[in-house]
């Protein structure tokens, strides 16, 4: 994928676990205030039929971003994107979950199996982005 880069996340990001899924996030993303973000965790593998994805966890948080290290709001119960090295890509918001999965395929193709994090982030009143984090 031509828009990938290596990223070192210096601070762990915590999210409140939710039963909402990616399509739910996409429906509410533009309605929320700037700073709203979500995280979906997918286990992936490739088979003869192609990419297999299983959504294992979802979380969200509200409020303005902070450069300060976050504290786990519910120790042991929060969903987190841990500090560390990732292959990273950012792109515009897709129309639906099926489109997001299509965009994810080239991003994970070299790993063959593992875990990938999909983050939606409302940067400002008009701009929302989708980000992929693949642990290295």
DSSP 33: P
Average pLDDT for residues 44-61, to the nearest whole number?
90
Number of domains in the chain: 1
Task: For 77-95, write each residue's pLDDT tens digit.
Answer: 889 999 999 999 999 899 8
Whether 116 maps to a domain, the answer reads yes
| Rounded-to-integer distance, Cα 40 and Cα 17, Å | 10
Whether 56 maps to a domain, the answer reads yes
Domain of residue 38, residue span: 5-66+76-135
Please tell me the number of Cα atoms within 13 Å of 21 on its side-chain side.
Answer: 9
CATH of the domain at 114: 3.20.80
Between 21 and 69, whose confidence is greater? 21
Q: Is a pLDDT exceeding 70 seen at residue 112?
A: yes
φ/ψ of residue 31, rounded to 5 = -85, -20
- pTM for this structure? 0.90
Whether 24 maps to a domain, the answer reads yes
Whether 71 maps to a domain, the answer reads no
H-helix or E-strand spanning residue 107 = helix 97-108
């Amino acid at each position: 994928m031509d828009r990938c880069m290596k990223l070192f996340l210096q601070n762990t990001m915590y999210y409140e676990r939710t039963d909402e899924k990616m399509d739910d996030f996409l429906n509410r993303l533009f309605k929320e205030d700037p700073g709203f973000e979500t995280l979906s965790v997918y286990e992936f593998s490739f088979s003869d039929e192609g990419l297999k994805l299983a959504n294992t966890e979802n979380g969200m948080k509200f409020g303005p971003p902070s450069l300060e290290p976050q504290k786990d709001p519910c120790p042991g119960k929060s969903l987190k994107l841990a500090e560390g090295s990732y292959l990273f890509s950012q792109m515009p918001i897709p129309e639906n979950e099926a489109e997001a999965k299509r965009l994810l395929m080239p991003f994970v193709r070299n790993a063959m199996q593992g875990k990938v994090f999909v983050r939606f982030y409302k940067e400002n009143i008009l701009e929302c982005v989708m980000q992929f984090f693949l642990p290295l």
